[in-house]
Structure 1
């Protein structure tokens, strides 16, 4: 009786192992394909929502500011080049 149960359990384990060998690659393949499709969809949504022109346009520069660096930008430090 105990030998029969042991043989049945071993047979069931081998069958389950064989089935998993067949099904697991297919399951992984579908999961990976779904993840790739979601990623591609997210990239497409990002590209569609991206503004077409992201350059900064300056329409007005005050007269006193042209070519002048404000004092708040820091101070110039003299340096000597050594050769």
Structure 2
């Protein structure tokens, strides 16, 4: 019986110490991660601003223009319809 009580006391103490360490370390790790993400985002914004001056427009993709033929015979079949009231 004494071994079980000793085990429970040691387990409670170990869990309590782990809980204290997590409460102190976890916020610092999260704060550091957020600061790193914020620094990366501001660095990317500065790089984009440095590449091209403000007010310029850049087009990444421009589709090929197809020549349209004006011949109505090639446009398809047209069906007359009557309006039903």
The TM tier, using the shorter chain, reads 0.5 to 0.7
Compute the displacement of 1:54 (Å). Answer: 2.4
Q: Assess, with a 3 A threshold, how the Cα gap between structure 1 residues 19 and 51 changes in structure 2: closer, same or farther.
A: same
Q: Point out where structure 1 has 5 or more consecutive residues left out of the alignment.
A: 56-83
Alignment of 1:39-54 (within 5 A): 39-51=41-53, 54=56
How large is the RMSD of aligned CA atoms in angstroms? 1.7
Q: Distance in 2 between matches of 1:22 and 1:7?
A: 23
User: What is the total number of aligned residue pairs between the two structures?
Assistant: 55
Measure the CA separation in 2 of the matches of 1:19 and 1:38: 29
TM-score of the pair, normalised by structure 2: 0.58
Alpha-carbon separation, structure 1, partners of 2:33 and 2:55: 37
Distance 2:17 2:54 in 1: 58
Query: 1:26 aligned to 28, 31, 45, which one?
Result: 28
Where does the alignment leave 5 or more consecutive residues of structure 2 unmatched?
A: 58-85
Matched, 1:2 2:7: no
Partner of 1:12: 14
Q: Give the Cα separation in 2 of the matches to 1:52 and 1:14.
A: 56
